[in-house]
Structure 1
Amino acid sequence: MSATFPAAGLLLRPSTAADLPAITALYGWHAVHGTGTFELEGPSLDEMARRRDDVLSKRLPWLVAERAGELLGYAYANPFRPRLAYRFALEDSIYVTPGAHGQGVGRLLLAELLARCEALGARQMFAVIGDSANTASIGLHRSLGFADVGVMRSAGWKFERWLDVVILQRALGGGDAAAPTDRVPLAPP
């Protein structure tokens, strides 16, 4: 299901295989130039396709935002950890093209991702943000109800400096107010 945001001229929709070259280029830019990911080099197109296929095989969303046919960002959710007890906890990932920063693309992607994950039965969403100086991503998550959990100091080494990892969390649906239903939508297929 797609969503159009006329004021922003954006279309949010599930990703397709045709988006992979743009997704790969965007993530590669962030790997080489940014601190939001601790990868040092951009993965190949085949590797990004494998990662996307893995997310989709778990019936989790991988969304893209586009304007006039140009991919401006993407977001997806993945299990927070692989063990079965974590099956109601997800981690989000969001990447936006540098030219679209500050235009609300990330906010719309994250809001839609949260809504879709909640509809799947997820109860917690974690943001594991590279670099405590990544104030835009931290602020975006806080503005959508994420609370600070903690900081892992000097967890990564990139660009000749130590980088922290900031962890934020947001309850989805009933959160921890009640036990989950017998339905286990986020269990491995």
Structure 2
Amino acid sequence: MSTCTATVRAARRPDLAAVAGIYRHYVLHSLATFDETPRSSAEWEAKLDELTSRGLPFLVAEEAGRIVGFAYAGPWRPKPAYRHTVEDTVYLDPGATGRGIGGALLGRLMDACARAGVRRVIAVVADAGGEASVALHRRFGFTDAGRLSAVGYKHGRWIDTVLLERALADAPSD
């Protein structure tokens, strides 16, 4: 893996077209997401607004003026007692893999989650034959939390998900 040359920063509205393009690839051509329809620009804007209003991070990796990846932390579950637990999301432009960008994004995301008062981060990884996402999360201290068998059906096959978790500093009780 070579050294990451991308700059990781907070996402802004003009970045969302590139974010949508990256995600579109995975929706249409992979099992990495269980979405079957790409999100519209309006949906990405709503996602950015929602996360920002909750004080949660939405980051992009920019390299030579181009968005090459994104990461965000969203609510794990909608019930109030889960408010200090988030699920992380990390996607890279297919041409930007293997260069440390995923690690740069995940590292900054974990730091931002800790600053936001997050206590635990959950990763839900489709077990579709590639180990890159699981390996990335394990490098950042995530541990196995379980497996859900055949919970997704996409592109003509059933897919398991692997659950990983990482504890951050204790969040204040409120």
The TM-score with structure 1 as length reference comes to 0.87
Question: Residue in 2 aligned with 1:145?
Answer: 141
Local SS of the residue matching 1:95: strand
The aligned counterpart of 2:94 is 98
User: Distance between the aligned counterparts of 1:26 and 1:13, measured in 2?
Assistant: 17
Q: Deviations over 1:8-41 (max 9, x none)?
A: 2211100000001101111111100111110112
Q: For 1:122-159, what per-residue CA distance to the aligned partner results, in whole angstroms no more than 9, with x for missing partners?
A: 11000011225231001100111000011101111111
CA contact (8 A) 1:126 1:170 kept: yes
Q: Which residue of 2 aligns with 1:181?
A: 172
Q: Deviations over 1:142-178 (max 9, x none)?
A: 111000011101111111111111100000014xxxx
Task: State the alpha-carbon separation in 1 of the partners of residues 116 and 125 from structure 2.
Answer: 23
User: Does 1:62 pair with 2:58?
Assistant: yes
Corresponding residue pairs, total: 172
Tell me the secondary structure at the aligned position of residue 145 of structure 1: coil
Q: How does 1:102-121 map to 2 (within 5 A)?
A: 102-121=98-117
Task: Write the mapping of 1:1-189 to structure 2, written as runs, cut at 5 A.
Answer: 7-174=3-170, 180-182=171-173
Question: Unaligned stretches of 5+ in structure 2?
Answer: none
Report which stretch shifted further, 107-116 or 131-140: 131-140
The runs of at least 4 consecutive aligned structure 1 residues that moved more than 6 Å come to: none
Percent identity over the alignment is 39
SS at match of 2:51: helix
Q: Which moved more, 1:145-154 or 1:82-91?
A: 82-91
Q: Deviations over 1:97-138 (max 9, x none)?
A: 110111111111001000111112111000011225231001
Q: Distance in 2 between matches of 1:30 and 1:132?
A: 12
Inter-partner Cα distance in structure 2 for 1:87 and 1:134: 31
Superposed CA RMSD in Å reads 1.2
Q: Which amino acid aligns with 2:36?
A: L
Local SS of the residue matching 2:132:
helix
The residue identity in structure 1 corresponding to 2:142 is F
Tell me how far apart the structure 1 counterparts of residues 133 and 108 of structure 2 sit (CA, whole Å): 16
Aligned counterparts of 2:160 and 2:48: Cα–Cα separation in 1: 26
> TM-score scaled to structure 2, two decimals?
0.94
The residue type paired with residue 92 of structure 1 is D
Find the residue that maps to 1:12 and give its secondary structure: strand
- CA distance in structure 2 between the partners assigned to 1:9 and 1:136 by the alignment: 20
